[in-house]
Amino acid sequence: KQEVTQIPAALSVPEGENLVLNCSFTDSAIYNLQWFRQDPGKGLTSLLLIQSSQREQTSGRLNASLDKSSGRSTLYIAASQPGDSATYLCAATGNTPLVFGKGTRLSVIA
Amino acid sequence: DTGVSQDPRHKITKRGQNVTFRCDPISEHNRLYWYRQTLGQGPEFLTYFQNEAQLEKSRLLSDRFSAERPKGSFSTLEIQRTEQGDSAMYLCASSSRQGATNEKLFFGSGTQLSVL
């Protein structure tokens, strides 16, 4: 059974700082890993999808990496802004539909 | 492409009542998923459809829950005899699956259910 863990559960940083969010998964037989953003009381917005054959994906200030052998993914956010404040969720899919972690709640302080 | 639409956005009901939620996926997306999310947790998978066929149901989906996707378009999720433990955000997502590795899910804004 796939299990996804995210560390830390919460993070507070000053504006402009670069930061890394961590995600680990127990079953390395994944098809892809996805990172989502969720604002309070809202649905999920897809940020990046890394296919199992890929090592990383980039979109603007976001960079996500994937290491299947170690069961880890990281989301790197450069030059953080107050608008980046949200909960970030990672999710892995393989033989089962997307399995989510509990998320990292990010606060970027101006 | 108007995105995934869910209705209603909020639902307050009394314990024991039946409720029904609707999800309209992105047009021509062949897969539709239902997830449930409680405060401080990640979304948990409930069930999914490929076109009109319900392909998988989670053990979380008790007999009080039923989902349909007639004609492979919109979907409904019904909860009968609601319990306070059913209070959660119910999220719908759709995808146009063209390969196992690049299936990207698009989520709606969710229906927040409160059972009093």
Q: What is the pLDDT of residues A9-62, one digit of tens each?
A: 999 999 999 999 999 999 989 999 999 999 998 899 999 999 999 999 999 999
**What confidence category does residue A1 fall into, taking pLDDT thresholds of 50, 70 and 90?**
confident
In terms of phi and psi (left: phi > 0; alpha: psi -120 to 50; beta: otherwise), the region of A9 is: alpha
According to the model, what pLDDT value does residue B109 have? 95
According to the model, what pLDDT value does residue A73 have? 97
Q: With contact defined as beta carbons under 8 Å apart, do B65 and B75 qualify?
A: no
A10 strand-pairing partners: A105
How far apart, in Å, are the Cα atoms of B76 and each of B21, B25, B66?
A: 5, 11, 8
Res. B1: pLDDT tops 60: no
B100·A99 Cβ contact <8 A = no
Q: What is the pLDDT of residues B44-88, one digit of tens each?
A: 999 999 999 999 999 888 899 999 999 889 999 999 999 999 999
The reply to whether A4 touches chain B by the CB within 8 Å rule is yes
Nearest-CA distance A8 → chain B (Å):
13
**3-state SS string over B39-52?**
CCCCCEEEEEEECC
**What confidence category does residue B2 fall into, taking pLDDT thresholds of 50, 70 and 90?**
low
SS3 A61: coil
Give every CB contact of residue B3 below 8 A, 6+ residues apart in sequence.
B26, B106, B108
Q: How many C-beta neighbours within 10 Å does residue B30 have?
A: 15
How far apart, in Å, are the Cα atoms of B16 and each of B13, B29, B83, B115?
A: 9, 34, 6, 9
| 42-71 in chain B: CB under 8 A from chain A | 42-45, 48, 56
Write phi, then psi, for A84 (nearest 5 degrees). -80, -10
Res. B27: pLDDT tops 80: yes
According to the model, what pLDDT value does residue A36 have? 97
Mean per-residue pLDDT over chain B, rounded: 93
According to the model, what pLDDT value does residue B83 have? 96
Q: What is the pLDDT of residues B85-101, one digit of tens each?
A: 999 999 999 998 777 67
Residues of A in contact with B109 (CB under 8 A): 42-43
Res. A96: pLDDT tops 90: no
What is the sign, positive or negative, of the torsion defined by CA atoms of A93, A98, A103, A108? positive
According to the model, what pLDDT value does residue A75 have? 97
A100·B43 Cβ contact <8 A = yes
